[in-house]
Structure 1
Amino acid sequence: MPHLRLLACLIVLLAGCRVARAGDDPDFAVRADALVAPYARSGIFSGTVVVAREGHILFRRAYGLANREWDLANTPETRFRIGSLTKQFTAAAVLRLVEAGRLSLDDPVCAHVPGLPVSWATMTIRMLLNHTSGLPNVTALPDYITRTARLDRTPLETVSLLFGEDLLFPPGSVYEYSNTGYILLAALIERITGRPFVDHLNHVLLAPAGLAPMADGDALLPRRASGYHRADGAWRNAMPLAASVPSGAGGLWATADDLVAWDRALLSGRVLSPASRATMFADGGNGYGLGWYVGNAYGRRLWSHGGFLNGFAAIKDTYPDADLTIVVLGNTETAPAQALSRRLAALVFEAVPDTQLSVSDAVLARYVGFYRIAPRSVLGLTLEGGRLVASITGRGRIVLSPESDRVFAGEGDTRIAFDIEPDGRPTGALLDEGGLVRSGPRIDSAMARRITARRIGRLTIP
């Protein structure tokens, strides 16, 4: 009997250990919401967040509006554009074709897609997958925003727009991220299978694994979110984008739950063989596998990809050794998806947040200038030692740190999000000071002088 009582005590103690493990904190959802809520309060973030570990949901919540015109709220079941998260599905579909013996990663692309330019002859399927093909980005075409992005085309028709362009470098010699390569992969999949790209994903990749079908933008999608950007200090509908244009590079829509289920299926072996999965996550020397960025965070392996596309920002971070998946899907271009995801991971691991974000001086320099945030108040930005520094009428200086390439945080609860046009021009700013939210357009120095009038000494205006 004493031994049985001792055994019972040990069982109770061991059961208690699970509660104490990082990520099993019953207050985790409260702390996660406290992290995300300030971004939603100001409108910088609108979307859905899910944190899942070992198949159990630790946090699942929606914020903001799916449709601003109809005042419809986002829900966990809302569908979002997932942008470049599409690439991991495209890569998995190609690896399944390899498993079926229908192609090899080192096959020249032209062996399966006839009619490509002669200069592309040495370009292999693997080079498309790991961004070493030399293909320029279709998004860099001069008329991409005004014409190319607005017209429906097949994947091969989109790629053909680059047939007259020079390669950026000899195939296989340099890494440079290219959406064009993944659009060409969608064309390759269609050529080999005889199915439209999304149909092939659903019937051959997702359905056998027991996963919900993915959708492209042509379908009538229940609970579809609208995408938004800001211009001149006000919310606008995102720029139009034909559903077919991003294709295998960024054409899918999904819920956060869909992406968590995808991770579970992929990591459990229901989608790819162990050998194919190892190939997918092998670092080719550039921090990129096949459709995934591969690296480390918080002392653990991290497999990740973000997505940014006309009114939407997304990320899915997978920590395979911790069986942890974090999904952030937003329907505003201001959503700092990566920063949110990495900070949520820090909560799980009880670690100091490490967002590992850097923004080039060239991008920071665009924001230097003045923004009218109230009838008599101006936000001024300068660049000092590689950091943006804000000064607000009647206030001191605030040194800012990037949370994305358009959202910056200062001391306390201060946060600034910039309105950016597709050509990179900032046209306005949103300032959140601990719940006091103000926004307005970019102005010139003469206007800034007139607005601040007697308080001019508080701003540095050349």
Structure 2
Amino acid sequence: MKTMKTRPWTLILPLAAGLACADASRDDSSSGTVELAALDAVFADYGASDGPGCAFAVSRDGQQVMTRAYGRANLEWDLPNTPETVFEPGSVSKQFTAAATILLALDGSIDLDDDIREYFPEMPDYGEPITVRMLIHHTSGLRDWGSVAGIHGWARTTRIHTHKHALDIASRQRALNYEPGRYYSYTNTGYNLQAMLVERVTGQTFDEFSQERIFRPLGMTKTQWRDDFTEIVEERSIGYRRGDDGEWHMLMPFENVHGNGGLLTTVGDLLRFTRNLDTGEVGGPEFIRLMHEQGMLDSGRQISYAGGLFVGEYKGVREVQHSGGTAAYRGFLTRFPDHGLAVSVMCNVGEANPGGLARAVAELYLGDAIDEEASEDPAGADVDPARVAAFAGGYRDTRTGQFMELTADGAALRLGMGPGGMSLAALSETEFASPAGVSIVFDAATGDGARPGATMDTPVADDVRIEPVEGFEPSASDLAAYVGAYHSDEAEVTYWVEVEDGGLVLRDRYGDGPSLEPVYPDAFRQGGSTFIFRRDEAGRVTQASLSQGRVWDLRFERVQ
């Protein structure tokens, strides 16, 4: 049984109109004093007295120099957020899980290159071993169990999921997204398995091991794993998001899976942990090295993901960071090693962008070290917009079958639609790139006027082939060929495909389901998913497959 920690309420100082702020400290950074007004302005949208908000903390060379809090932790009781409020930072938690796994390896209890089936014999044999190191770097090919649960009809936050459920779903997957080590695909499964691995090897709960080896040695007195969501946690905020009615509604992670997320902590405790990634007080130099060791693909490509950390740059400054979100909680922890600066942000409002908030705070402290030009679009070449427009249209990711769309925007291309789309500037008549490190290089023109294929690279993948696809306007007979029931043992679900109002709809067992938009022959999309009907040699539709971000080519057999 965990010991409940008791802390006195921190004095709340109303230092700015409409803001609930606490424990302001003066910054003595080399870039000069950062005015409180400038920091408060960053969080201006989160200081309402009748809404949820955020907390943040800043450290220089391991010394906390600023901490502030805004908004309400509990709207029903009108309790404010403070720097001591406990939040969940979502996938920021992954670096703690990687740390536990690496400590176990440094103990000699496991080897990072062990086949995971040594510890999880219930997992299928996929022909090639999945190593513990691949779990850390998201190169295992394992499908994300939560995404599969959503396909089944019970997405996270809709059912009380446990590690038993996560392992059961993972062990039912007869196929991987790809051969182990070939690509990167972000998957919570690998981090839940690490938490379970620690428990199987040590005989301790994951929280007991973490308390003994990480939290207590680093003085993280308000940190624990949410392995029992019913437990009372003092000074915990409630997560909120706006409902369709425009009012605040609670959205809490009522589940017991952890390791992928599920850390209960404060902004100050997060800084204590990230400082250890510089000092190695816990783990020593080899621990630091392994935490920052970036994954390697079979192609020899080094990816940006390390031990639950993204290693890269922000506006010309070396940065090590991770973001996260669970239910309506949001978090971001970033460190700029060359400047001794670290910033943690956590929010209990689902609409918050903690990464943008943390980096805005960091810029105030980094001052002249920031290179604004490094964040701008690559210098665009003088390319005829008409040539760019020739590339616009639909494309198919040849790895997954997923549909993607490129639109022309003058001399630039835009990948995806809406506010989540990405602009890629023309570097030449065939090469386009974004500040985020995504590039697309088109093949040479064939001379027949057809759109060429292309190779796409990202910070975590290389040589991804995308091929142009033509639009699809299915006739009534085309649609009739798809009608039927499709079952997946891996997702334990049956979908019924029906024709309604001249289009296809996908029904679940309750008769609910979305309309499907045709995107290329035999392929339809709904949201971020692509549903592809597959034919036998005689041309009959006998299968379907579903691909989305974290699940590739999940097969369904036609059963009627």
After TM superposition, is the score higher than 0.5?
yes
Give the letter for the 2:272 counterpart: A
Question: Which is richer in helix?
Answer: 1
Whether contact under 8 Å (1:150, 1:240) holds in the other structure is: no
In structure 2, the CA distance between the partners of 1:162 and 1:238, relative to structure 1 (3 Å rule), is farther
TM-superposition CA deviations, 1:269-310 (whole Å, max 9, x none): 112221221121122222111110110123322110011110
Q: Would you say 1:235 and 2:247 are equivalent positions?
A: yes
Aligned partner (choices 160, 164, 167) of residue 172 of structure 2: 164
Give the letter for the 1:188 counterpart: L
Task: Tell me the residue number matched to 1:405.
Answer: none
User: Match of 2:47, SS?
Assistant: helix
Distance 2:408 2:244 in 1: 25
Task: Tell me the residue number matched to 1:301.
Answer: 318
Task: Tell me the residue number matched to 1:291.
Answer: 308
Whether contact under 8 Å (1:343, 1:355) holds in the other structure is: no
User: Match of 2:217, SS?
Assistant: helix
Aligned partner (choices 218, 225, 239) of residue 237 of structure 2: 225
Once the two structures are superposed, the pairs formed by residues 107-118 of structure 1 within 5 Å of their partners are 107-118=114-125
Deviation at 1:388, TM superposition (A): 5.7
Q: Would you say 1:132 and 2:139 are equivalent positions?
A: yes
Aligned partner (choices 173, 177, 194) of residue 182 of structure 2: 173
Task: Tell me the residue number matched to 1:380.
Answer: none
User: Match of 2:82, SS?
Assistant: coil
Once the two structures are superposed, the pairs formed by residues 49-64 of structure 1 within 5 Å of their partners are 49-64=56-71
Give the letter for the 2:181 counterpart: G
Distance 1:239 1:39 in 2: 17
Distance 1:51 1:331 in 2: 19
- Give unpaired runs (5+ residues) of structure 2: 1-26, 296-301, 378-391, 394-406, 420-513, 515-560
Deviation at 1:64, TM superposition (A): 0.5
Distance 2:206 2:29 in 1: 45
| Superposition RMSD in Å | 3.1
In structure 2, the CA distance between the partners of 1:294 and 1:19, relative to structure 1 (3 Å rule), is closer
Deviation at 1:235, TM superposition (A): 3.2
Task: Tell me the residue number matched to 1:277.
Answer: 288
Task: Tell me the residue number matched to 2:99.
Answer: 92
Once the two structures are superposed, the pairs formed by residues 348-367 of structure 1 within 5 Å of their partners are 348-350=365-367, 351=370
User: Match of 1:88, SS?
Assistant: helix
Deviation at 1:38, TM superposition (A): 4.0
Q: Please, which moves more after superposition, 317-326 or 227-236? A: 227-236
- Give unpaired runs (5+ residues) of structure 1: 1-17, 363-382, 390-424, 426-462
Aligned partner (choices 338, 343, 348) of residue 326 of structure 1: 343
Distance 1:339 1:226 in 2: 22
Q: Please, which moves more after superposition, 345-354 or 200-209? A: 345-354
Deviation at 1:159, TM superposition (A): 2.1
Q: Would you say 1:267 and 2:278 are equivalent positions?
A: yes
The normalised TM-score by structure 2 is: 0.57
Q: Please, which moves more after superposition, 180-189 or 346-355? A: 346-355
Distance 2:160 2:42 in 1: 40
In structure 2, the CA distance between the partners of 1:286 and 1:113, relative to structure 1 (3 Å rule), is same
Deviation at 1:35, TM superposition (A): 2.3
Deviation at 1:265, TM superposition (A): 2.9
Higher relative contact order (CA 8 A, sep 6+): 1
Aligned partner (choices 160, 163, 167) of residue 155 of structure 1: 163
Aligned partner (choices 247, 258, 265) of residue 269 of structure 2: 258
Task: Tell me the residue number matched to 1:447.
Answer: none
Once the two structures are superposed, the pairs formed by residues 5-44 of structure 1 within 5 Å of their partners are 21-22=30-31, 25-41=32-48
User: Match of 2:85, SS?
Assistant: coil
TM-superposition CA deviations, 1:195-243 (whole Å, max 9, x none): 1111211112222334325223333111100001112252343445333
Whether contact under 8 Å (1:29, 1:58) holds in the other structure is: no
Give the letter for the 1:324 counterpart: L
Whether contact under 8 Å (2:311, 2:321) holds in the other structure is: yes
Q: Would you say 1:69 and 2:61 are equivalent positions?
A: no
User: Match of 1:85, SS?
Assistant: helix
Distance 2:202 2:146 in 1: 27
The normalised TM-score by structure 1 is: 0.69
Aligned partner (choices 351, 356, 359) of residue 342 of structure 1: 359
Deviation at 1:33, TM superposition (A): 1.6
Distance 1:20 1:62 in 2: 21
User: Match of 1:118, SS?
Assistant: coil
User: Match of 2:126, SS?
Assistant: helix
